Each structure stands twice: as C-alpha cells, then as structure tokens.
A and B are shown apart, each in its own frame.
Chain A
C-alpha cells in the first residue's frame, strides 16, 4: 500500500453536527482538522479527548480516536493515554467551565509534568450547554443575557494560571482567525512538552457581550479587537537562558497576558524549551519506557503464563 498524502478530508467525518449556527466551535474544529492534516499525521495516530459541554463534542467530528470523557476530567484521561502510549499524538479539548472550574485542579497539576500533549481551551465565558450561566472566565460585573444579575465573582485568566502551573508552551488564538489558529495548533502539537492554547470564542446564543461582531470590531470601523503579539515579543526560553532574560520574558508575558487595553493579543506567549519533557524524565526512571511503553508491555508468554520473574521480590521477603 502506497502512503497517500494526508489531506484535511482524512480528518473529516460525515456526521450531523448539532452546534448552534455561528458557533465559534466550527472555527476551532476546522482549524484542528487542517492542523492535523498539515502535520502529516495519520488519523489513527491521533487521539482527541473532549470534556463535557458544547466544546466537548469537537472530537465527534474528527476522524481519529475520539474520547468523550467526563466533565472536568479531560486532562487526566488524556494524560493516562499519553503516558501509556507515548507514540500517540494526544489533543485535549474542553470549555472554560470544564477546564477552569470543575477541572481546575487537573489543569494546574498537569503543568507539573510537562507531558507532551496539547490542551485547547475553548473560552466563550459561558456555560452554553446548560443555557448560559457565568463561566469562571466571565469578568466581574459582566452580565450575559441568561444571567439574572451581573456576575459577582471575578474571572480567571487562563494564560496566567497556565504560567503559574508550569505549562511550557502557552498561546492564545481566536476561533474565527482560522489561519492563525491552524498555525498555533501546529506549533502547540510540535512543542515537545505540555502546550496550552486558549481560544477566544463567541457563543452566538448566550454571550451577547463578546460576539463575533465585537471581536471583529464592527462597532469601531472594523478594527478587530484581537491582534497578534508585536514582532518584538520573544516568548522563547532556551536551556541556559540567564536569570535576567528569564525574568524579563516573564514580565513581558505578564504584561501581555493581563493587558486590559485592546487589542487582545494572540500568538505564542510562552515557549520554554529548557524544561525536560515528562517522557525524558520517565526514560531516566524506566529504561525501557520508550521501547516497551505500558501500552505495549508483554504480559504473558505463548501459554498464557506471566512473563514477570518475581524471584527477586520474593527473595526480599523470604525466610530461608
């Protein structure tokens, strides 16, 4: 069988889609499919894990191994699979409620490992599938249309939380900037560690504040409210980067990630290549981790007998 070129069609599925018309999810799905094809990955080499909510349906529409997990748990399921089969390309997708509220503990702790996977957070500031309640990223005082009162709690800044948690690649895109998003997703997947991509996304049904028109700046002469980071912004930390440079880059990161002035920046905010990936750390611990990862571990011989020799362990507790 000749190896055919992978195209975006290979990652598309003929399956009825039930997102609302105009949903930002469409842009992200489209970008994800293009990104995977553009990287030359074959569908069976990819596992897409989704959380719960509208965004958690993304993997329904991707031709790959697709796993719809539990609310908030998308990262732990994805981590388990990637740890056990490091050859898989693992993408986790989920909403802002899924990742920043019910799954926030997992989001933070995932940062400690630097496992080579990509987490895409769909941020539309509301719980869409339950009809528009405030999500943990909705700013204090904002009142989207389902809310009886403006929200009385502050919003979380996902980029800042990712930085504090140790994510080694941090980016932000916009759902309908598909070309930009394809590039960002590909960079995130190529990054040999844990990548976090926040995607700003309109919810046409429940978020009447931050709409597609608002992002496009329709109210201000078509000047979009999002724009790439300035070319002078350098997110890269290399092995051996000195402390002063590191501190300066972190300061710049914080300035851009938290800026209240428009435009909202998109692009690669942080790319730390100085931290060994979890896979590299595991190889130090388990010498055959890559040659015989958990998914491929030999368990039984041809007769269904265990292949493990327990003798040294038994000797430790044997009374002779």
Chain B
C-alpha cells in the first residue's frame, strides 16, 4: 500500500444504549471532516438496552461502500465486546480494552451463544492459550496486535474532577474519550475529532464538555503511550470537498421529500421505522420559491391499514407511500392487489430483514425479492426496484413515484437492513438532476360531461388511461377490487375481463420498452470481461471493491447490478449473459432468489451462486475469497459465506 493510500477499519462495540452509535458517529464525522471517504456498518440485537451492538467505521482515501475484516482498531469497554471481536483485529492493529476488567473464562460467559463459545475455545486451545479473556488478549499480542489497557474508571473520575461532569455523564463521555484515544493513536488532528463531536452533538451543551474530554484523552494518550512507535497514521487530506454523511433510511426519506411525497403511512417495524420518523421530524420543508411544503405522516394500527390509507390518499392525487419490512409486506399483500386492479400509484418501501416470520428482526437478508415480485393473489403489474447504496437509495426513492404515477400501479422499492443502517459519505444530493413525471391525470369537464361515469379504465394502446382524482368535478367513476368495466362497474363479462387484464398488463410491456436501460441495469468493472458477477441491492459495495482489487491484480471482472428487478430486464441482460464465463450471482439469501428470477426470465443458470444467509452483510474480504476460489476452479456451483464471529 503506497504512503498516500489510507484504508483503516475501526470497530467499537458495547451494550446497546450505552453510546456505541454516538461514538461511531463522532469518529465517522471526524474522519469525513478530514476529507476521507467513510463507510459505517451497524450491527445490533432486537433489544432496547444491554445486548451487544457494534459499529464498524471504515476510513479511506478512496470511496468505500462495504466493511472489511479484519479491522485495524478495536475499541472495547467491556468483556463481551472484547471476546466477540478480539480475533477480528489485524496484525499490526490496535486493541483497546478496560484495564480494570477481570479475567473471565469463556465458558462462563452466558451472554455468548454456544457455537461462538466453542469456536473461541477451540481457537485458543489450538494456540495453547487459556480459554479466557487473557488468552484472547495474548493471542492478539502474538498475532502482532498492540494491546492497550485503558483505565476507563480512572479516566471517568478524571472527567468528573477536571470537568465537573457528574459520574453518570462522565461514564457516557467515556465513548468520546475512546474515540479521542483512537484519534490520538492515529496521530489524527484533535481539532477534527472535536469537529466530529460538534457535528454529532450539535448546539447541545454536550458539545463543549465532550470537546474538553477530547483534549483530556489526547493528553492522556501522549503521556501514557509512545505514539511514534505505533504503526497506524491518519493525516487529514488537503482536499476536503463537502460531502454528506448519512444513512440509507435518511437518503430514502430525502428522496421521497424531493419527489414531493405528500402522504406516508407506516406501522412501527424494524428496520423501516427510522425512515418514517425522519419524515415526520422533517414534515415541513421549504420550497425553492420561498414557500413551505409538507408531508402528512400517519401512523396506523397495522400494515393492513398502512397500505390502505396510502392507497386512499393516492386516489386524491397525493404522492403516497408506505414503508415497512418483510412481516409488514406480508400483511400489505391484499392492498397491493387492490392498488394493482384499481391502477393506484402507490410506492411501498421495503427494508428486508432476516425472515421468515419474526426471523432476524435487526439483521439483514435479501430474502423478499421473490415475495415482492409475486406478492398478492391473482395477476397485476408491479415494479420492483432495488438500490445498491445510499446514493442510489435517494434517487430510486424519488424515481419510484414517477414509475408509480406514469404507469399507475404499485412500485416496490427494496432495500435491506444493511442499507437502512449504513452510514456513508456521499456527494451532496442534487435535486435539480431529478425530474418529476405525474403521469396522465384527467382534466374532466364539469358535471354532466360523462353521464355514465368517467371512463377511468378505458383500454388504450399503452394500457394507461387518464386518472381523475377524487373530488374533481365531472370525473366521477367507480373503483372496486372486483373486475370492472371502463367506468369501474363490477363485471364478470369474459370479454371485458380480457380487455381489462390486457390493459393492465400491457403497461408493463410499455414500461419495459420505454424505460432506459441504465435505469434497469448498471455495468461496472470491465464491460468486456468474461468473468461476470451479477447482483442486486446492497452487495454492490463489496462487489465493486472486490472487482477493483482483482483488476489491480490483473484479473478483469464485469459487474452487472440489476436496479429494476421487475419487469426483469431480460433483454438488456442478454448480450452480457451470452458472453459471461463464468456467470456468478451474489446474494445474501439462502436460495439465490435473483438467480431464480434470472433462470425463469432468461433460461440462464449461473455457474456459481455465492450466498450468505447468517443475517450479516458480505465483507469485501469474504467476497474476494469467494471470487478467488471461483477463479482457481475450487468453488462448486454453490458457495456459502460463513462467519461465526459476527
């Protein structure tokens, strides 16, 4: 690695509710303030307080969109984080742990699941080390990790005596101290850590107190450790363009606001709720002409009501959406069909999590693609989009409304828990690059123009017919979940049924023809390479980086990312599939759901399916390993990425 290239992976862990997220936010913003690209990955339990959570912040001189193992710096405050992550620290890395913590045998740690306990114990036994926390620290030292004992208790007392902070406040500020110690160990500019504090705490009085804690931590580090002897450095970059640092849920919410969302319904569910809460907090925003613009965010009693209220609002002309995850989509299914047969423009944002049933509520999985593509009894047109990163989440969230209104049907926007909680630096969103397509809205005449009812569902060549909005004079028609005539009258007439079915389904054929290829499919890496990786959604970052790493080694890879999964872009894929050798599909689910769609729609089967279904996203090193195994001819048709330590 050249001297100018920086790529540091930093991990902090601790009990949920103790400030791990805040610490990661401070470190990430401090790094971003120094001009670095930053990627953050959050892992947490379905629990309010106490269970283990951790946050990876990756800091680099190049754009990063994925986490990696091993990490370079591990910050721990207590035994559980130490035990779970000590093995994840790279040779030459740093490990901070509580100097006051007792040595605990791993088999006494009831908070660890048995498979992890066994994996840790056997690892230490093989190394001839005791199966305890001391053994893990010794293993780290032998691996070339610098283990630093931090007297957190004394430092907290110091915060109390020096800054006058209460004991409780001092204990919370230990997070900031640990971030600052990390900065000091990297010899990073303390002013930038303080900037990270200010950006995180805002105008609260906590900012100043925490900034004082930063100084105190830097002083402690300089007094205590020989910083010059430590291997890692982080020097601020000369160029520091303005970037955003935000999560996937925030990006989706901003995309919806930019698109003019007027109504959002939701029922609380992990990991989707953050988006709706953000929208409600930012319900009124300014307009470019100095006015204001609002979105009505409506919390319903369940997801059945969420999809129904959003549909009811859409009928009046409001750009309407709802957001949920897999279990909510299960309940919304009936409403998708209703919107489909009534040609209602409806955006449904899905943050996939581990399923089925309650599954892994706070872990990630690309498990709902086939469900999204098929959800609902009977047949109706729908779109399924999937974003690959935070920037795409913004654009797709806005674009979803255009598809919904242009084609007057349901648009499902798929994301996942990984993207929901990813924090990433991106270039500032440019709303002037977005366009708005409201589709065909009728301008009915005054009363009496359409004595038999407005022909809302009159078949047309495109299948799209003008849509009057509830309340418009002269636009009256009937809407029904039953099959209907062109004015919306219930009918079971065979000919009308055929006409209406064909009218609705024709919209998808038209969409497949008129939507530009680049909105459906993106090509990265070497477009002429035979080695082809096909993906959708949040695996994008890992594949992009693995592709770049292999290219640096002289191996050319072509990466195709499908953005529109339904209608499936079979035609756009065809030339690539014809020349793919081998064809590799990467997904974070068990069965390769996109690979199944691919085979169904193109007849092509991938040569290799790389999957991970432990609920955690694929790390770049894991994917590289898989791709190298494929290149070496050592991978079978199914390659499962496993990692017991996540």
Chains A and B form a bound pair: yes
Binding site for B on A (CB under 8 A): 1, 15, 42-45, 47, 49, 52, 59-60, 63-70, 72-73, 75-85, 87-88, 105-106, 108-109, 282, 285-289, 292-301, 304-314, 317-320
Q: Write out the residue numbers on chain B whose beta carbons fall within 8 Å of the beta carbon of A47.
A: 470-471
Contact A306 B434 (CB under 8 A): yes
Q: List 29 A-B contacts (CB under 8 A).
A: A15-B489, A42-B473, A44-B474, A47-B470, A47-B471, A70-B308, A70-B335, A76-B304, A80-B309, A80-B311, A83-B309, A84-B263, A109-B300, A286-B294, A288-B293, A293-B318, A294-B318, A298-B260, A299-B260, A299-B438, A304-B435, A305-B435, A306-B258, A306-B260, A308-B260, A313-B282, A314-B254, A319-B243, A320-B242
Q: Give the interface size bracket for B toward A.
A: 35 or more
Contact A310 B316 (CB under 8 A): no
- Chain A nearest CB from B385 CB (Å) reads 19
Please tell me if B601 contacts chain A, counting CB pairs below 8 Å. no
Identity of the chain B residue whose Cβ is nearest the Cβ of A74 in the assembled complex: B308
Identity of the chain A residue whose Cβ is nearest the Cβ of B250 in the assembled complex: A317
Chain B, residues 309-331, CB within 8 Å of chain A (1/0): the string is 11111111111100000000000
Contact B428 A305 (CB under 8 A): no
Q: 7 new A-B pairs (CB below 8 Å) besides A88-B471, A295-B469? A: A42-B473, A108-B301, A282-B296, A292-B294, A298-B293, A301-B288, A305-B434
Main secondary structure of the interface of A (DSSP, over half): mixed
Contact A313 B242 (CB under 8 A): no
User: Complex Cα distance A20/B310, Å?
Assistant: 34
User: Complex Cα distance A84/B478, Å?
Assistant: 19
- Chain A nearest CB from B279 CB (Å) reads 11
Q: Write out the residue numbers on chain B whose beta carbons fall within 8 Å of the beta carbon of A310.
A: 254, 257-258, 285, 429, 431
Question: Which of A69, A80, A297, A320 contacts B319, CB < 8 Å?
Answer: A297
Identity of the chain A residue whose Cβ is nearest the Cβ of B263 in the assembled complex: A294
User: Complex Cα distance A108/B302, Å?
Assistant: 12
Name the residue among B293, B447, B471 with the largest chain A CB count within 10 angstroms.
B471
Question: Which of A60, A306, A314, A319 contacts B29, CB < 8 Å?
Answer: A319
User: Complex Cα distance A312/B481, Å?
Assistant: 42
Q: Write out the residue numbers on chain A whose beta carbons fall within 8 Å of the beta carbon of B296.
A: 83-84, 282, 286, 289, 294
Identity of the chain A residue whose Cβ is nearest the Cβ of B301 in the assembled complex: A109
**A-B pairs, 5 with minimum CB distance:** A80-B312, A299-B260, A80-B309, A76-B308, A294-B262
Contact B308 A69 (CB under 8 A): yes
- Contacts A80-B313, A80-B320, A83-B263 given; indicate if A88 touches B470 (C-beta within 8 A): yes
Q: Write out the residue numbers on chain A whose beta carbons fall within 8 Å of the beta carbon of B265.
A: 80
Contact A297 B316 (CB under 8 A): no
User: Complex Cα distance A5/B104, Å?
Assistant: 86
Q: Write out the residue numbers on chain A whose beta carbons fall within 8 Å of the beta carbon of B319.
A: 297, 299
Please tell me if B472 contacts chain A, counting CB pairs below 8 Å. yes
Contact A309 B470 (CB under 8 A): no
Please tell me if B536 contacts chain A, counting CB pairs below 8 Å. no
Identity of the chain A residue whose Cβ is nearest the Cβ of B242 in the assembled complex: A320
Identity of the chain B residue whose Cβ is nearest the Cβ of A64 in the assembled complex: B476
Identity of the chain B residue whose Cβ is nearest the Cβ of A112 in the assembled complex: B301
- Contacts A44-B447, A44-B472, A309-B287 given; indicate if A79 touches B312 (C-beta within 8 A): yes
Name the residue among A69, A109, A285 with the largest chain B CB count within 10 angstroms.
A69
User: Complex Cα distance A313/B246, Å?
Assistant: 11
Please tell me if B245 contacts chain A, counting CB pairs below 8 Å. yes
Identity of the chain B residue whose Cβ is nearest the Cβ of A305 in the assembled complex: B432
Contact B243 A76 (CB under 8 A): no
- Chain B nearest CB from A116 CB (Å) reads 15
User: Complex Cα distance A56/B115, Å?
Assistant: 56
- Contacts A296-B317, A304-B437, A310-B431 given; indicate if A319 touches B471 (C-beta within 8 A): no
Q: Write out the residue numbers on chain A whose beta carbons fall within 8 Å of the beta carbon of B284.
A: 286-288
Contact B480 A313 (CB under 8 A): no
B residues 542-600 in Cβ contact with A at 8 Å: none
Identity of the chain A residue whose Cβ is nearest the Cβ of B300 in the assembled complex: A76
Contact B260 A297 (CB under 8 A): yes
- Chain B nearest CB from A40 CB (Å) reads 14
Chain B, residues 254-277, CB within 8 Å of chain A (1/0): the string is 100111101101000000000000
Contact A65 B259 (CB under 8 A): no
A-B pair count, CB < 8 Å, reads: 257
Q: Write out the residue numbers on chain A whose beta carbons fall within 8 Å of the beta carbon of B313.
A: 80-81, 83-84, 294-295
Please tell me if B234 contacts chain A, counting CB pairs below 8 Å. no
- Chain B nearest CB from A15 CB (Å) reads 7
Q: Write out the residue numbers on chain B whose beta carbons fall within 8 Å of the beta carbon of A301.
A: 288
User: Complex Cα distance A311/B298, Å?
Assistant: 25
Q: Write out the residue numbers on chain B whose beta carbons fall within 8 Å of the beta carbon of A43.
A: 447, 476
Identity of the chain A residue whose Cβ is nearest the Cβ of B444 in the assembled complex: A44
User: Complex Cα distance A128/B260, Å?
Assistant: 44
Contact B32 A308 (CB under 8 A): no
Identity of the chain A residue whose Cβ is nearest the Cβ of B310 in the assembled complex: A80
Identity of the chain B residue whose Cβ is nearest the Cβ of A50 in the assembled complex: B480
Q: Write out the residue numbers on chain B whose beta carbons fall within 8 Å of the beta carbon of A288.
A: 284, 292-294
Q: Write out the residue numbers on chain B whose beta carbons fall within 8 Å of the beta carbon of A68.
A: 478-482, 490
Contact B436 A305 (CB under 8 A): yes
Q: Write out the residue numbers on chain A whose beta carbons fall within 8 Å of the beta carbon of B335.
A: 70, 73
Contact A289 B293 (CB under 8 A): no
Please tell me if B199 contacts chain A, counting CB pairs below 8 Å. yes
Identity of the chain A residue whose Cβ is nearest the Cβ of B405 in the assembled complex: A299
Please tell me if B463 contacts chain A, counting CB pairs below 8 Å. no
Question: Which of B242, B293, B437, B438 contacts A319, CB < 8 Å?
Answer: B242
Q: Write out the residue numbers on chain A whose beta carbons fall within 8 Å of the beta carbon of B480.
A: 67-68
Contact A77 B260 (CB under 8 A): no
Please tell me if B286 contacts chain A, counting CB pairs below 8 Å. yes
Question: Which of B29, B257, B308 contacts A73, CB < 8 Å?
Answer: B308
User: Complex Cα distance A23/B285, Å?
Assistant: 52
Contact B294 A319 (CB under 8 A): no
Contact A300 B438 (CB under 8 A): yes
- Chain A nearest CB from B340 CB (Å) reads 12
Identity of the chain B residue whose Cβ is nearest the Cβ of A80 in the assembled complex: B312
User: Complex Cα distance A295/B470, Å?
Assistant: 9
User: Complex Cα distance A73/B329, Å?
Assistant: 16
Please tell me if B283 contacts chain A, counting CB pairs below 8 Å. yes
Q: Write out the residue numbers on chain A whose beta carbons fall within 8 Å of the beta carbon of B488.
A: 66
Q: Write out the residue numbers on chain A whose beta carbons fall within 8 Å of the beta carbon of B29.
A: 319
Contact A80 B308 (CB under 8 A): yes
Q: Write out the residue numbers on chain A whose beta carbons fall within 8 Å of the beta carbon of B338.
A: 69-70
Please tell me if B446 contacts chain A, counting CB pairs below 8 Å. yes
User: Complex Cα distance A212/B474, Å?
Assistant: 39
Contact A289 B447 (CB under 8 A): no
User: Complex Cα distance A85/B631, Å?
Assistant: 59
- Chain A nearest CB from B34 CB (Å) reads 9
- Chain A nearest CB from B571 CB (Å) reads 27
Please tell me if B475 contacts chain A, counting CB pairs below 8 Å. yes
Q: Write out the residue numbers on chain A whose beta carbons fall within 8 Å of the beta carbon of B257.
A: 308, 310, 313
Please tell me if B98 contacts chain A, counting CB pairs below 8 Å. no
Name the residue among A64, A70, A304 with the largest chain B CB count within 10 angstroms.
A70
